[in-house]
Amino acid sequence: MTAPDKHPLDLEMHADRLREECGVFGIFGHPDAAAITALGLHALQHRGQEAAGIVSFDGQRFHSERRLGLVGDTFSRREVIDRLPGMSAIGHVRYSTTGETLLRNVQPLFAELDPFGFAIGHNGNLTNGLTLRRELVREGAIMQSTTDTEVMLHLVARSRKPRFIDRFIDGLKALEGAYSFVGLTNKKLVGARDPLGIRPLVLGTLDGCPILASETCALDIIGAKYVRDIENGEVIVFDDKGAHSQKPFPLVAQRPCIFEYIYFARPDSVVGGRPVYQVRKTLGAELGREAPADADVIVPVPDSGVPAALGFSQETGIPFDLGIIRNHYVGRTFIEPTQQIRQLGVRLKHNANRAVVAGKRIVLVDDSIVRGTTSTKIVQMMRDAGAKEVHFRIASPPITHPDYYGIDTPDRDNLLAATHSLEEMRQFIGADSLAFLSVDGIYRAMGYEKRDPVRPQFTDHCFTGDYPTSLTDQTAKSHAPRQLSLLAEAS
């Protein structure tokens, strides 16, 4: 099975979004383990749309189904779920951050260790994954995927500790970067969050069975109860005897990724105790206070800008209205007519709602600007629809630095804010005015007075350049060019 063709037009719009990373799910001891995992992954679909996989264990054998495409394309079918028997399962949705999107890269990955099997799914990115990989290969390890997750499999396989959990922790200790893992052995469901808790992981319960999931929305879809967030640096194991938690790393304060709030998490999820939708409305209100505009209507860029636009509207008293209509049947990019159609790319997904926009001074509200190409087109679409003035407001600060923890950001050169002043950005986008929320504005919206420059409360390097861990692979990069797998396979 090959990846669906991508057309330049579509890539362009795609390229102007931060790519969400991955989502994980696991359940232990439930007779409908695979069906529930499929539903949980469906709720986490926004975290990864390129591939999905589930591994179940039936008491004797592991079963694995991994496919390119959406969860519903494969895992909604009875015959697929029937091929995943057993009371325990873990699942994964993936947008590729490292490794090409090939079937052999789709998680959960599995290894038959001695004397047990072990499956693992990973959300995040290891900043020393490439370095570890090279060491392992040099020692005779055979890598089948080009994911950094496989490194963890080999580390566990090579640990000489007798107990599984000690081998697992041996593996974790070699890692650097961001990770939320779910793992499944013949006897245990295991979860782990990196020492800073960069990527999210929550614990829930359904019919008395423990569930691990990237977000609470995956608990809601199955009617499971939220218990608590897995803590930064926590390793938790569920087996027939119950739950066992430990913190094998030196204790440090948590520093979750601020982008989960701004961008990635579903608005109906609660992350780190904060309802995401309310955070986004507050970001919009904060933005309304910092950078108001004299205008007739607040128009969200759908759907990402809606909560912030509502907050902005409520703060400023300017009415909120849908000046852009989104086509719900997206996902495919069409052949572009040879006789050029202006702005086709953007129109496949959006259309101006002329009745709202024509003759008005509008404030466009979005959650972020990455490359700026889509923003440019949307401003132009508003002008074509007769907007008198177009003010652009962004409910987060300028993105100036790339991410290495599981978010697919462009290189610095392609980040608009990394190479343009505010005024240059305004000109590029073609807006009458442009404003971003300040960094401290975010922290105020999160309930702090301001960013703590010594121990920042969040991972926020994309806005500040302050990376929370060392970046071993990046440092090495200048000396030895990245050279992951030599093998390209399409099947």
2-61: which residues touch a copy of itself (CB under 8 A)? 5, 30-32, 35-36, 38-39, 42-43, 45-46, 49, 60-61
Closest to a copy of itself by CB, 161 vs 244, is 161
269 is an annotated ligand-binding site residue: no
Q: How far is CA 120 from the centre of its chain?
A: 18
**Does the protein bind a copy of itself through residue 77 (CB under 8 A)?**
yes
Burial class of residue 352, CB neighbours in 10 A (0-12, 13-18, 19+): buried
250-269: which residues touch a copy of itself (CB under 8 A)? 266-268
460 is an annotated ligand-binding site residue: no
144-173: which residues touch a copy of itself (CB under 8 A)? 144, 153-154, 157-159
Least distance in angstroms from the C-beta of 105 to a copy of itself: 13
What's the longest Cα–Cα distance across the chain? 73
List 88's β-bridge partners, or say none: 28, 57
Closest to a copy of itself by CB, 294 vs 303, is 303
353-382: which residues touch a copy of itself (CB under 8 A)? 353-356
- Out of 344, 389, 410, 472, which residue is the one contacting a copy of itself (CB under 8 A)? 344
Closest to a copy of itself by CB, 384 vs 424, is 384
Q: Which residues contact 174 (CB under 8 A, 6 or more apart)?
A: 128, 132, 155
Burial class of residue 294, CB neighbours in 10 A (0-12, 13-18, 19+): exposed
Least distance in angstroms from the C-beta of 422 to a copy of itself: 30
Q: In whole angstroms, give the CA distance from residue 459 to residue 217.
A: 22
396 is an annotated ligand-binding site residue: no
Instruction: Select which of 22, 209, 257, 462 is catalytic.
Output: 22
* Annotation marks residue 462 as catalytic: no
177-196: which residues touch a copy of itself (CB under 8 A)? 186
Least distance in angstroms from the C-beta of 273 to a copy of itself: 11
Closest CA to 178 of 301, 392, 22: 22
Residue 9, Cβ neighbours under 10 Å: how many? 17
Closest to a copy of itself by CB, 161 vs 450, is 161
**Does the protein bind a copy of itself through residue 395 (CB under 8 A)?**
no
93-152: which residues touch a copy of itself (CB under 8 A)? 103, 110-114, 117, 134, 137-138, 140-144
- Out of 228, 241, 423, 491, which residue is the one contacting a copy of itself (CB under 8 A)? 491
Residue 372 φ/ψ, nearest 5 degrees: 95, -5
Helix (H) or strand (E) holding 365: strand 361-366
Interface characters, 276-295, with a copy of itself (x: CB under 8 A): -xx-----------------
Helices 276-290 & 306-316 angle (0-180, nearest 10):
50
428-487: which residues touch a copy of itself (CB under 8 A)? 485-487
Is there a contact between 451 and 443 (Cβ–Cβ < 8 Å)?
Answer: yes
Closest to a copy of itself by CB, 144 vs 472, is 144
Sign of the four-CA dihedral 137, 140, 146, 149: negative
Residue 196 φ/ψ, nearest 5 degrees: -95, -5
What separation in angstroms does the CA of 227 have from each of 95, 169, 216, 246, 279? 27, 24, 10, 17, 21
Closest to a copy of itself by CB, 35 vs 258, is 35
**Does the protein bind a copy of itself through residue 312 (CB under 8 A)?**
no
Residue at 171: amino acid letter? G
Is there a contact between 151 and 122 (Cβ–Cβ < 8 Å)?
Answer: no
- Out of 211, 235, 293, 306, which residue is the one contacting a copy of itself (CB under 8 A)? 306
Least distance in angstroms from the C-beta of 207 to a copy of itself: 6
**Is the backbone peptide bond immediately before 452 cis, with ω within 30 degrees of 0?**
no
Least distance in angstroms from the C-beta of 66 to a copy of itself: 6
**Does the protein bind a copy of itself through residue 63 (CB under 8 A)?**
yes
Helices 164-174 & 149-158 angle (0-180, nearest 10):
130
Least distance in angstroms from the C-beta of 26 to a copy of itself: 16
Under rule CB under 8 A, how many of the chain's residues touch a copy of itself? 107
Q: Which residues are annotated as a binding site for Mg(2+)?
A: 304, 366-367
Residues identified as active-site: 22
